[in-house]
Structure 1
Amino acid sequence: MSTSSDILGIAREQVLERGEGLTEQQVLEVLELPASELEELLALAHDVRMAWCGPEVEVEGIISLKTGGCPEDCHFCSQSGLFASPVRSARLDIPSLVEAAKQTAKTGATEFCIVAAVRGPDERLLAQVAAGIEAIRGEVDIQIACSLGMLTADQVERLAAMGVHRYNHNLETARSFFPNVVTTHTWEERWETLAMVRDAGMEVCCGGILGMGESLAQRAEFAANLAELDPHEVPLNFLNPRPGTPFGDLDVLPANEALAAVAAFRLALPRTMLRFAGGRELTLGDLGAQRGILGGINAVIVGNYLTTLGRPAEADLDLLVDLKMPLKALNASF
């Protein structure tokens, strides 16, 4: 095993120069680095991002088509119908969906993700998604992604036929820690959906949430799980403890620990789109957002999330201008 002073040198040669992601053990060594080496770690992660992904940043907006009332027991989620959280079931109509897509496109975003709080889509929801996609396409030039839970093979084919560009389904955490987070379905069921999505030709978006009580070793395991899956995009969320959920009393992840994780995931996934997602405002604040974008991040969700407030879109876009990070153009690819 290398010492803490060695691992950054190894990563520089292995990841930056050759484009080979760190192994699980190597990611753990990065996560265990002392705080005094954080700035060097972030600088290396930024260099890796620039070398293997370039300076462009992809901007995405998300909207909840069906909120709350979910039958699953994801312990972080206030949309579960099993917890005494304040989120209640609601559905969005098609005109509101189109308007949200229009507002998202105005920010410069190239991706609009339709999300539903469900175990998996039923016929009513799929019909609404199909109608929503058709209506959006008639008025907005934007790529459409979906996040509708676990899918059957037939549902995967139907979404691909609708022209869904990317499908999001998060593994959430390391395989070994997953039973501490969800008990109503398995990690393997999520993996099966992702495999079918890839086979159908849609881009795979898969990430998770950091700060749910997992160990550093499990965080490294999660990075290795994602590297094996090799998704096009990895959204990194940080737990925002929601009242009424089983994780509502957990502490917020310290900012330096969160930034080290961002950098470590970049070193494990040098060519992957790594997206700032939920919880970054609470965990990192404004300065942390800048350090993350200069520490491996190359995509952001702008505006609000599903049940929590995000940074104003203008704040993120102004930051990218200040950092001289161009927005990824529609239909461009890494």
Structure 2
Amino acid sequence: MAAAVLAAARQVVLEDGHGLSEEQVLEVLELPDERIPALLELAHEVRMRWCGPEVEVEGIVSLKTGGCPEDCHFCSQSGQFQSPVRAVWLDVPSLVEAARQTAATGATEFCIVAAVRGPDQRLMTQLREAVTAIHEAVDIQVAASLGILTQEQVDDLVDMGVHRYNHNLETARSHFPSVVTTHTWEERFQTLRMVAASGMEVCCGGIIGMGESRAQRAEFAAQLAELSPDEVPMNFLNPRPGTPFADLPVLDGKEALRTVAAFRLALPRTILRFAGGREITLGDLGSRDGLLGGVNAIIVGNYLTTLGRPPEEDLALLQDLQMPVKALSSAI
């Protein structure tokens, strides 16, 4: 049975170039542990055939940290929880310096993130100033993640020169009410539809390990595929003190790698990016296995409220694996 599942996946994804269906993704997710090496090998072949060997490197920085009115149960930036994160705003010079430091690692993408339901006029004005200053000072693409948008705000981001917009669906539609109650999955999906129609690249992923079932992970992969996103960041829950998910267990490393490979088979041509939580879920060897199991992009340095690996370690790993960092010129 397991051999047949892998053979069918090979034909559909590697030979025919199509992503697996929801039902096929679930079959992959339910493969026994002894089949994980073969699954990762297939995912790597798919990545190499349809994406190539290059790895896109990105840095992120928080423009507004903490004080968010939403109740995303995984997030220590919510103002509704007793977490240690407090509201902080960065000024434009600080953002430019962060962009310089990101570019110095070889990254081609710099993402400005704000912990908000959606941006107000103050935030949009500061972002415009920051994007202009960064483009004048640094040779790097600027992405943004500001929550739920109106059509006017989407148009403003395009006018600013924002290259890519991140807005994670976070989890499967069926599981979303267990994760967030202050807004809906459909509101997020509508923002992503507007972003895609605007011509900006769509970055949309989520967090694995928030109590969802394997069937819901397969559902999530299919819903992401429906969007045809340019990038899917894969986060793994890093339980944060003071949040409703503080006591959830860290996802097993094998389960994380199985999920990464399954998402690659569902999204064969998408940038699949290692993001938050990989350090505690996978460790150093797991990061290597993931890069050899379908991942073709990473966030270097720290995340929004948690620590990541030093950029030098990730860049050394890419050099050891003989995976070139994607050049800015080829990303424009």
- Same fold per superposition (TM over 0.5): yes
Q: Which residue of 2 aligns with 1:56?
A: 54
**Following the alignment from structure 1 to structure 2, what is the Cα–Cα distance between the partners of residues 85 and 154?**
33
Gapped regions of structure 2 (runs ≥ 5):
none
Q: Which residue of 1 aligns with 2:109?
A: 111
Code of the aligned partner of 2:149: L
For each residue in 1:115-164, what CA deviation from the matched residue of structure 2 results, as whole angstroms up to 9, or x when unmatched? 00000000000000001011111110000000000000000000000000
Match of 1:34 among 32, 35, 50: 32
For each residue in 1:187-244, what CA deviation from the matched residue of structure 2 results, as whole angstroms up to 9, or x when unmatched? 0000000000011110000000000000000000000000111100000000000000
Code of the aligned partner of 2:171: T
**Following the alignment from structure 1 to structure 2, what is the Cα–Cα distance between the partners of residues 303 and 179?**
31
Q: Which residue of 2 aligns with 1:65?
A: 63
Code of the aligned partner of 1:235: P
Deviation, structure 1 residue 18: 1.1
Q: Which residue of 1 aligns with 2:160?
A: 162
Q: Which residue of 2 aligns with 1:222?
A: 220
Code of the aligned partner of 2:263: F
Deviation, structure 1 residue 5: 2.3
Code of the aligned partner of 1:299: A
Q: Does 1:85 align with 2:99?
A: no
Q: Which residue of 2 aligns with 1:235?
A: 233
SS at match of 1:257: helix
Q: Which residue of 2 aligns with 1:321?
A: 319
Deviation, structure 1 residue 333: 4.2
Match of 1:146 among 144, 147, 166: 144
**Following the alignment from structure 1 to structure 2, what is the Cα–Cα distance between the partners of residues 104 and 18?**
38
**Following the alignment from structure 1 to structure 2, what is the Cα–Cα distance between the partners of residues 126 and 212?**
31
Q: Does 1:187 align with 2:185?
A: yes
* TM-score, normalisation: structure 1: 0.99
**Following the alignment from structure 1 to structure 2, what is the Cα–Cα distance between the partners of residues 190 and 12?**
33
Code of the aligned partner of 2:200: M
SS at match of 1:321: helix
Match of 1:267 among 253, 258, 265: 265
Report sequence identity in percent: 73
**Following the alignment from structure 2 to structure 1, what is the Cα–Cα distance between the partners of residues 152 and 134?**
23
SS at match of 1:128: helix
Q: RMSD across aligned C-alpha pairs, in angstroms?
A: 0.8
SS at match of 2:329: coil
SS at match of 1:62: strand
For each residue in 1:80-107, what CA deviation from the matched residue of structure 2 results, as whole angstroms up to 9, or x when unmatched? 0000000000100111100000000000
Code of the aligned partner of 2:129: A
**Following the alignment from structure 1 to structure 2, what is the Cα–Cα distance between the partners of residues 61 and 228?**
27
Q: Which residue of 2 aligns with 1:14?
A: 12
**Following the alignment from structure 2 to structure 1, what is the Cα–Cα distance between the partners of residues 274 and 310?**
14
* TM-score, normalisation: structure 2: 0.99
Code of the aligned partner of 2:160: M
Code of the aligned partner of 2:285: L
- For the structure 1 residues 94 and 333, does the alpha-carbon distance in structure 2 shift closer, same or farther, using more than 3 Å as the test? closer
Code of the aligned partner of 1:272: T
Higher mean C-alpha deviation, range 130-139 or range 64-73? 130-139
Question: 4+ runs of 1 displaced by more than 3 Å?
Answer: none
Q: Which residue of 2 aligns with 1:312?
A: 310
**Following the alignment from structure 1 to structure 2, what is the Cα–Cα distance between the partners of residues 332 and 233?**
16
Q: Which residue of 2 aligns with 1:132?
A: 130
For each residue in 1:26-85, what CA deviation from the matched residue of structure 2 results, as whole angstroms up to 9, or x when unmatched? 000000000000000000000000000000000000000000000000000000000000
Deviation, structure 1 residue 332: 1.4
Code of the aligned partner of 1:223: A
Number of residue pairs the alignment of both structures matches = 332
User: What are the residue-to-residue correspondences of 1:295-306 with 2, within 5 Å?
Assistant: 295-306=293-304
Q: Which residue of 2 aligns with 1:100?
A: 98
Code of the aligned partner of 1:63: V
**Following the alignment from structure 2 to structure 1, what is the Cα–Cα distance between the partners of residues 52 and 132?**
33
Q: Which residue of 1 aligns with 2:253?
A: 255
**Following the alignment from structure 1 to structure 2, what is the Cα–Cα distance between the partners of residues 120 and 177?**
22
SS at match of 2:207: strand
